[in-house]
Amino acid sequence: MKRVINTSEAPAAIGPYSQAIEVNGTLYISGQIPLDPATATVVEGGIKEQTLQVMKNIGAILKAAGYDYSDVVKSTCLLSDMGNFKAMNEVYGTFYLENCPARAAFAVKELPLGVLVEIETVAAK
């Protein structure tokens, strides 16, 4: 059975998609960008500040669905510049200290609202 996850603790979708969908014990979180959920604006700062906000948004969605970071099995990180990989990784790594999820990271031409990072997440129980 499909369950739509929506929380005000993470940014509202800026298009025709859900924050997350849970089906058969697996949670699929849409790509999160560094929007402050309270203001719906991109957080100030560089890649570290933006990655931190993305990870907070992911955490809020995980919590709303009854999951946590330890349930994450796969992440896909999209970067506007691969030169930001190391700094993104430093922040990302603070959320996964052991049993890290599988992951891919790509540089893309452009991200929504001109942000530096977007992260898509899959979690499972």
pTM of the full predicted structure?
0.97
Q: For the chain, what percent of residues have pLDDT higher than 90?
A: 97
d(CA 28, CA 3): 10
What is the pLDDT, as a whole number, of residue 51? 98
pLDDT in tens, 19-41: 999 999 999 999 999 999 999 99
Residue ranges of E strands in 14-71: 20-23, 26-32, 35-36, 41-42
**CATH for 6:** 3.30.1330.40
d(CA 42, CA 49): 10
What is the pLDDT, as a whole number, of residue 14? 83
Say yes or no to pLDDT of 11 above 90: yes
Residue 43: other Cβ atoms inside 10 A: 17
d(CA 96, CA 57): 15
Q: How many domains, the chain?
A: 1
d(CA 61, CA 34): 14
d(CA 92, CA 28): 18
Residue span of the structural domain in which 97 resides = 2-124
pLDDT in tens, 47-106: 999 999 999 999 999 999 999 999 999 999 999 999 999 999 999 999 999 999 999 999
